[in-house]
Amino acid sequence: MKDPIHSTLGRRHFLGLAAAATAGTLAAPVLAKTTNEEPTKLLPPKGLFSTEFGDYRISTLLDGIIPLQKGYFSGDEQAIDAVLAEIGLTEGVVPAPVSAFLFQSKDKNILVDAGMGAISAMGPGYGHMMSALLAAGVSPAQIDIVVLTHAHPDHIGGLLDAEGNAVFPNAELVVAREEVAFWNNPETMAKAPEEAQGIFQFAQNCFKAYGDQLSQVDAGKEIAKGITLQAAHGHTPGHSVLRVDAGKKELMMVADLFHSAELYTAIPDIAFGFDVDSKQAAATRIKLFDQLASDKTILCGSHVHFPGFGRVLKEGKTYRYIPVSL
């Protein structure tokens, strides 16, 4: 059986990120230490969008933009080139936002993912999530729940401060059970390329920093009123999306179901360099795209054009993404 870590992630995708992890530069730069006070070193907000959505107020917190090289995407190369040319991306770079989402009810502040933090191995310009959170009127100590869709660095980089302490001291850290098991598994880590060891270690450090506040949950678990974790495996073994029933409105937070709305809807079986199991990721994507299109459900996503809301429409054998204003 082919080892998914070696076959799909490979050495070249881990070089920069793992080097940053082992050098200790994955800790978030915006907090010198975890306190209830305002951070003393803070990057300016890069993007904040807030809207009322049923029973929740939802805010998109833009952490930065990843300049993804075209080589991260694989499949029908002619089709990939054609889509990129159609949308004017002819330089071999696909800009991908890195966004976290804040869901606020009358009694809960729920953060979904934590951005890239100080990770600069994929380019500069990250770590703006915290300033956007503060601009939304919420301090780290006021976060009740942090939900991780998965434990890749662009989703967990903002969980720790410069000393490796929890940035969100009062938060329950909710993660799919399979995701924690994957990153904590010493045998899986040992099989990964040497350059990947730092990424595994950083995920483990995040889980450890939250101690008893770490909640490993199963798919179908209601995290808070109307917010349910749903399995969407493939990108990682525990990759999850969130279904949000906000009263009269519904939403799906799709996490890394796609890294380019245009590419993934036009070529739904496309593979991405950080997929642990690209075939499973594609099957999951197509299944959820069909659901989203059939139900006309609004989505938001980690790497969707800021502020990150849209719909997927069925178009023959493929799909089409359209942005939605809320």
pLDDT, one tens digit per residue, over 269-297 is 999 999 999 999 999 999 999 999 999 99
Which residues, at least 6 apart from 312, have a Cβ–Cβ distance to it below 8 Å?
265, 289, 292, 293, 299, 319, 320, 321
Q: Does 11 have pLDDT greater than 70?
A: no
What Rg, from alpha-carbon coordinates, does the chain have? 18
CATH of domain 4-323: 3.60.15.10
Residue 303's closest CA among 121, 19, 66?
66
Contact 147, 138 (CB under 8 A): no
Tell me the CA end-to-end span of the chain in Å, nearest whole number.
46
Highest mean pLDDT (candidates 31-35, 42-46, 49-53, 192-196): 49-53
Contact 98, 63 (CB under 8 A): yes
Neighbours of 78 (CB within 10 A): 8
What are the domain boundaries of the chain?
4-323
Structure tokens at 68: 């993804």
pLDDT digits (tens, 9 = 90+) for 180-195: 999 999 999 999 988 8
Sign (positive/negative) of CA torsion 254, 256, 257, 261? positive
How many alpha carbons fall within 13 Å on the CB side of residue 185? 13
